[in-house]
Chain A
Amino acid sequence: MTFWNRRHVTIAAVALALGAYRAHAGAVLDRVMAAGTLKVATDANWAPQSFVNASNELDGFDVDVAKAIGKHLGVKVEFITPGWDIITAGHWAGRWDMHAGSMTPTKKRAEIFDFPAVYYYTPAAVAVHKDSKAKTLADLDGKVVGATSTSTFEAYAKKDLTLDAAGAPPFEYKLNPKEVHSYENSTTAFDDLRLGNGVRLDAVVSSLPSILDAEKAGYPIKQVGDPVFYEPLAIAIERGDPELSAKIADAVKAMKEDGTLSNLSEKWYGQDYSKTN
Chain B
Amino acid sequence: MRAPAIIEAKAVSKWYGQFHALKDINLTVRKGERIVICGPSGSGKSTLIRCFNRLEAHQVGDIVINGVALHGKMTNAAVRSNVGMVFQHFNLFPHMTVLMNCMAGPMWVKGVSAANARKTALRFLERVRIPEQANKFPIQLSGGQQQRVAIARSLCMEPAVMLFDEPTSALDPEMVSEVLETMTGLARDGITMVCVTHEMGFARAVADRVIFMDAGQIVEEGTPDEFFSRPRHDRTKLFLSQILKH
Direct contact of A and B (CB under 8 A): no
